[in-house]
Structure 1
Amino acid sequence: MSLVVTAARRPFCWLLALQLTGAALLALQVVSVQWVLGGIVHAGTSSTAGGQLVLAVIGLALLTASTAVISSIQGSIGRYVGESVARAMWQRLLDISTRVGLQRFESPDFFDRLERVRTSALTRPFLVTNGVIGVVGSAAASIGLAVTLASFNPLLLPLLVLSGVPVLLTSRHESRLEFNFNVSQTQPLRQRAYTSILLTGRDEAKEVRAFGLSRVLRDRFDTLYSQNLSDLRTHLKRRARFNVVGQLTSAAVLGATLLALVWLIARGQLSIAAAGAALVAVRMLASQIQGLTGSIQTIFESGLFIDDLQEFIDVESTESDLPVTAAPLSFREVEVNGASFTYPGRTSPAITGVNIRIRKGEVVALVGENGSGKTTLAKIVAGLYPLDSGVITWDGIDAERLPPGTVRESTAVIFQDFVRYALSGRLNIAFGRPGAEDEEARVRFAAESAGASGFLESLPYGYNTPLTRLFEGGRDLSGGQWQRVAIARAFYRDAPLVVLDEPSSALDPRAEYDLFTSLRQTLEGRSALVISHRFSTVRNADRIYVMAEGTIIEAGTHDELMEQGGSYAELFRLQAAAYLPDDAV
């Protein structure tokens, strides 16, 4: 109720008013039926009976029409209320999913719960809204009909009320079965959804065709779906058993009520008109009780899912990152001392005991083989992962003691698997500092610094052209062009520390050379942490750290590391051997 009232207070109040009005009209319909039947019985006994019968029929028709109109209006308002409630739940969910610590996205359990609550946020609040409205309406209508029925004979009322109890009890078991089934199917449904993306996605289409994967993936999709249908069949059989027991028991009680009504008529305790009206009232009240128990079941069942969602929100809120409240921080030196970090669900650390230093205006490089921990360390420096142990200081101040969001605001990060936003070129660059005014000059300067201005200006709508073929008027870019746009986004952020993870992986040799020879000029006094597998791109760095198995094994300039003849020198010579004669290496 709190959720519904908070999301759509005024429309919900209108719904309640309409429900109460509709309930009163139902009770009046029973009375009108009695008047009509009474008028029919006495139609030939008096001169006024015919006129009274006409008025009773007109009244019954107007009540029926009014009920139908109210029901139609309720449907429209109910739909609006449901969407408002769903929006409120989406807002809560999205607030959590965008603020939760990045390390949570490394956990499959987190994804299972996120997928389940994401589905619940879309559908369950609407069902709860309808359930709440249904309970109010059915309860009000039941009270009105009960009072009317009791005026005929009080004996009928307790029997009808009892008819709803069996359904109410069995429906709770059905609801728990439904919730447990959905929990058990979360991961299989995620796997099926992912397989469908592989079969239908634009980016995946080329490789699926190149390797002939369609049959294998289709078989996987069909297998997952078949297993889901098999589990669903078993689940529905279990639900059906409870439902049949509840409905048959309820029907038996309702039958007993109708037999009691026949008994009362046979004993002459009800007139023909009253008996006809009582029969209508019994049927209406039985329907309302069924509706009441159904609405209660809807609330209980959907409530299980919303409780799951609320628990997710409460738990993840305690682990969520604090909102950004600080301005970028200029620094003289950033130091990482004794840094260690282990991904959720793993036992061995990704990095351990790492020490690095980045001074203002320096270009510092991280090199090493795949899986050595370079990207993990970069995420830690950028404030995306919390340390298990160790400390990161900015000018001697522990980063955890800085105002919330300071490290992220002070860092621009472009990873190798950067996002290709299906939006305009301008927005792709301006996303480097969201919320700030979109300055034309800054966007163009960032694009020029990254070598992206030429191809962006040549697009049909220039910087305003959507960088995708998914939408009308859009154009796609090559991998190298996309990488330039991503680099431009980092430059647009204008942060004192820039982290570039494999910034030249999709660039041709000339573009790579141009990028790194102009990097210091482009940074204009800012610092850069560059991750690269190409040793030729980092040889001019002020300091190079070599990583292996999550630790720093060597550090120094290119010349110093070559003189040491260690791992760096070996890897450098291996790469150089591909381009130079053997006697030159």
Structure 2
Amino acid sequence: MDALCSPCLQQGIELLDSPGFSGRLQAVVEATRDWTFTFRLDNTWTVLARRLTGIGAVAVLLSWRWWVPFLIAASFMLLSKTYTTWLNTAFDKLLQSSASELRRARYVRGLLVQTETAKEVRLFGLTDWLVDRYRATWLSAMAALWPLRKQGLRPVYLCCLVMAVAVGGALALLVNDVATGAVGLAGVITLIQAMLALEAFGILGDPQMALGQSTAATVELTRLRREVGLSETHPAVLSSEDHQSEPSQEDRAVENAAFTYPTRDDPALSGLSLHISAGQSVAIVGVNGAGKSTVIKLLCGLYRPDQGTVRVDGADPAESPTARRRVAVIFQDFVRYHLSLRDNVGFGAIARHHDQRVLNRALVDAGGNDLLERLEHGWDTILSAEYEGGTDLSGGQWQRVALARALAAVAGGAGVLILDEPTAALDVRAETALFDRFLQVTQDVTTILVSHRLSSVRHVDRIVVLDPGAGIVEDGSHDELLRAGGRYAEMFTLQARRFAQAGSETLAGDESQEPVG
């Protein structure tokens, strides 16, 4: 799967958002993930060995009637070819026609067996409902596939008849030779065994079926690669020098960009232009649906704009691996790798993954130095309680690990650091403290913060306010936008009033709990 997934992700993630393509890709993934896929590949040698025994049988029968082994072998080969074509076609249809339904069935099955969903499944009593839904979804997928499998069987039956006539005719000829004394008892036994051995040119049962399934999966993988415009099957190997590019003083820019997600009709962005100077700290704020995260994904090169241009250090991050590696981002749903602390931090700068000085500095700057002291195996502790010797972290601790990963990316050459609402699960004070620390340790790096909490981003150099359908409606510093009395000032005042009221209510509640003296 690396032959497809790695280059595909380098080009962007648009296709992974397409239900049709992602369903077919998932079907191929499932076909190659099963342990039997490797077993099926080994069947190449099993099939080859069986074919070689058939060649020996041909040599034996040549001494009797030279044309008989070729006739029988041809009938077996015709049957094998027809059957293999039908089998591959049936498996292709499995990967294509029912991929979406099978994907849904696997998802429902996952809800029944995954640890993450076990609590709600039990509390809400969802077991029976999920079992029924899984059965119905799987049967729906199979009901569409079963008629397709029956198509094309008529040529297989016809070839079976041809093979039976060929073998039956050869046996009749051998009986005649025995009756006339042309072939003795020992010869009869040898020739019959040789005839039966010619089956090696025919259908070889499970080994051939398994090999056919592997071949079909490989063909579908090749087809998917062709559809995404990939030709080479070997992903590019990135050198450590590529990761440690020199800092650039060029601006980052989104120019007249428009973008619509594959699964939506309304555009997420329309004609947006944003220029960010090198070394500047910028906050992007706005209501839900304003396009904040979409701008970030364009700057990261995860998507290509439908129109307009995106530039990071003068290059398109969707096309240039160098420009893409200049950007590091912590998303709201950042990945919590079930790997060691070293891996979780070091992935930010994979070329310096084992540079202990880089890892230590990143963790300290992220405020996670006390975390290391609590881990039994230090940097080699697996951050998941699902593994022996591993441990899970709190939400705040994971935030610091993610921040350390982004800071490690600076050591690896990143010149743009982005926080795309990764602190939504934290309270206001914790988020403000984390953002302030982020700005403090990245003073010479271009930083972009995305947050709904305006109090957390007031210390940045510049604040950009987005509005759904209107793009950028305000642009300036915190003090400038407050003095302007526009959209930002209104939102900031409302949030400040709400937090003040919440604080007053908390204080009043605390006073009501005071004992009477």
- Tell me the TM-score range normalised by the shorter chain: 0.7 to 0.9
Aligned residue for 2:121?
208
Q: Equivalents in 2 of 1:415, 1:281: separation in Å?
A: 67
Aligned residue for 1:258?
171
Change (3 A) 1:485 1:170: same
Contact 1:101 1:319 in 2 (8 A): no
Contact 1:483 1:503 in 2 (8 A): yes
SS across alignment from 1:518: helix
Contact 2:250 2:277 in 1 (8 A): yes
Aligned residue for 2:226?
314
User: Does residue 503 in structure 1 map to residue 425 in structure 2?
Assistant: no
Q: Equivalents in 1 of 2:74, 2:378: separation in Å?
A: 72
User: Does residue 556 in structure 1 map to residue 506 in structure 2?
Assistant: no
Aligned residue for 1:152?
64
Change (3 A) 1:331 1:200: farther
Q: How far 1:434 moved relative to its partner?
A: 0.6
Aligned residue for 1:537?
456
Aligned residue for 1:577?
497
Structure 1 residues without counterparts, runs of 5 or longer = 1-89
Aligned residue for 1:218?
131
Match of 1:99 among 4, 10, 32: 10
Q: How does 1:330-369 map to 2 (within 5 A)?
A: 330-331=248-249, 333-344=251-262, 346-369=264-287
Contact 1:162 1:253 in 2 (8 A): no
Contact 1:152 1:274 in 2 (8 A): no
Match of 1:377 among 295, 298, 312: 295
SS across alignment from 1:338: strand
Residue type of the partner of 1:459? L
Q: Equivalents in 2 of 1:207, 1:189: separation in Å?
A: 24
Aligned residue for 2:54?
142
Q: How far 1:235 moved relative to its partner?
A: 5.0
Report the number of matched residues. Answer: 490
Change (3 A) 1:273 1:203: closer
Change (3 A) 1:452 1:561: same
Aligned residue for 1:415?
331
Match of 2:29 among 91, 111, 118: 118
Q: How far 1:437 moved relative to its partner?
A: 4.7
User: Does residue 454 in structure 1 map to residue 370 in structure 2?
Assistant: yes
Contact 1:354 1:552 in 2 (8 A): yes
Q: How does 1:236-315 map to 2 (within 5 A)?
A: 243-285=156-198, 287-291=199-203, 302-315=214-227
Aligned residue for 2:73?
161
User: Does residue 181 in structure 1 map to residue 97 in structure 2?
Assistant: no
Q: How far 1:493 moved relative to its partner?
A: 1.4
Q: How far 1:581 moved relative to its partner?
A: 4.9
Deviations 1:526-576 (A, max 9, x none): 221000011111122221111122511222222332333333233223322
Change (3 A) 1:361 1:173: closer
What's the TM-score, normalizing by structure 1? 0.75
Aligned residue for 1:488?
404
Structure with the largest fraction of helix: 1
Deviations 1:474-526 (A, max 9, x none): 11112222112111111121132210011321223432232233333211322
Name which of structure 1's ranges 526-535 and 509-518 shifts more when overlaid on structure 2: 509-518
Q: How does 1:17-96 map to 2 (within 5 A)?
A: 90-96=1-7
Contact 2:415 2:445 in 1 (8 A): yes
Aligned residue for 1:406?
322
Tell me which structure has the larger Cα radius of gyration. 1
Residue identity (%): 34
Residue type of the partner of 1:534? R
Q: How far 1:292 moved relative to its partner?
A: 6.9
Contact 2:282 2:448 in 1 (8 A): yes
Q: Equivalents in 2 of 1:328, 1:220: separation in Å?
A: 55
Change (3 A) 1:138 1:518: closer
Contact 2:283 2:450 in 1 (8 A): yes
Q: Equivalents in 1 of 2:41, 2:379: separation in Å?
A: 46
Q: Equivalents in 1 of 2:279, 2:110: separation in Å?
A: 44
Change (3 A) 1:536 1:291: same
SS across alignment from 1:336: strand
Q: How far 1:352 moved relative to its partner?
A: 1.9
Change (3 A) 1:554 1:184: same
Q: Equivalents in 1 of 2:387, 2:143: separation in Å?
A: 39
Q: Equivalents in 1 of 2:311, 2:268: separation in Å?
A: 21
Change (3 A) 1:301 1:403: closer
Q: Equivalents in 1 of 2:159, 2:225: separation in Å?
A: 35
Q: Equivalents in 2 of 1:221, 1:497: separation in Å?
A: 45
Contact 2:58 2:70 in 1 (8 A): no
Deviations 1:431-473 (A, max 9, x none): 1101215233332332222222223321222332211011101
Contact 1:117 1:305 in 2 (8 A): yes
Contact 2:465 2:488 in 1 (8 A): yes
Match of 1:388 among 306, 310, 319: 306
Contact 2:352 2:358 in 1 (8 A): no
Q: How far 1:337 moved relative to its partner?
A: 2.4
Q: How far 1:339 moved relative to its partner?
A: 2.2
Residue type of the partner of 1:310? T
Contact 1:360 1:527 in 2 (8 A): yes
Change (3 A) 1:284 1:471: same
